[in-house]
Amino acid sequence: MSIALSKEKVKARTGLTIFYSYITLFITNAVTISLANYLFPTEIVLGTYALTPSWSLYLAVVELTVVCTMIFPLVYYHEYRRGSEYTAKEWMMLYFAVNTITIWSIARFADKIGFGISSWYIAIILGIILQWMQSKGMLLIRKITTYLI
C-alpha cells in the first residue's frame, strides 16, 4: 500500500491514537503478564522483599506500555519520510522486537522493579505472546474508534 502521507495526517494520527493505544496496551500487558506469572511462577517472578507482586506488576507494565506507546510517533514519522504505511507484518516484527528487548531490559533491574525472568528465552516467548495479545487489542480498539470518529 503506497499512500503518500501529509504532515497534517501524521499529526492527526498521533493525537487520540496515543491515548487509546496507551489504555489498550496497559490492559493487555497487565493481563498477559499477570496470567503468565500465574501459570509459570518459576519463570516469571513478580515482587521482591520490599515490593508486593501487585506493585511490581504495575511498575513493569507501566514501563512496557510507555515504551510501546512511544513507538507510534516514531513509526508515523518514518512512514511520512518513506512515503508509505507500515504493513501488518512490519508492525508485528517491530512490536516483537520492542516487547522482547523491553521485557529483557526490565528484568535486568529485577531488584528495583520487582519483575524477573528466569532466562533470555522467556523474554522471547513473552515477547511473542505480548505481541499477539497487543495486536488483538489494537485491532479491537481500531474497530471501536472507527465507529466513534
Residue 41's pLDDT is 93
- Whole-Å CA distances, 57 to 29, 63, 89, 93, 139: 10, 10, 29, 25, 24
With 90 as the cut, is the pLDDT of residue 83 above it?
A: no
CB atoms within 10 A of CB 130: 25
Whether residue 50 has pLDDT greater than 80: yes
Residue 6 pLDDT: 64
Enumerate residues 6+ apart whose C-beta is below 8 A from 130: 28, 29, 32, 33, 64, 95, 99, 103
Record the cell numbers describing residue 100, joined without a space. 522482547
Enter the pTM of the model: 0.83
pLDDT in tens, 8-17: 665 565 567 7
* Confidence bin at 75 (pLDDT 50/70/90): confident
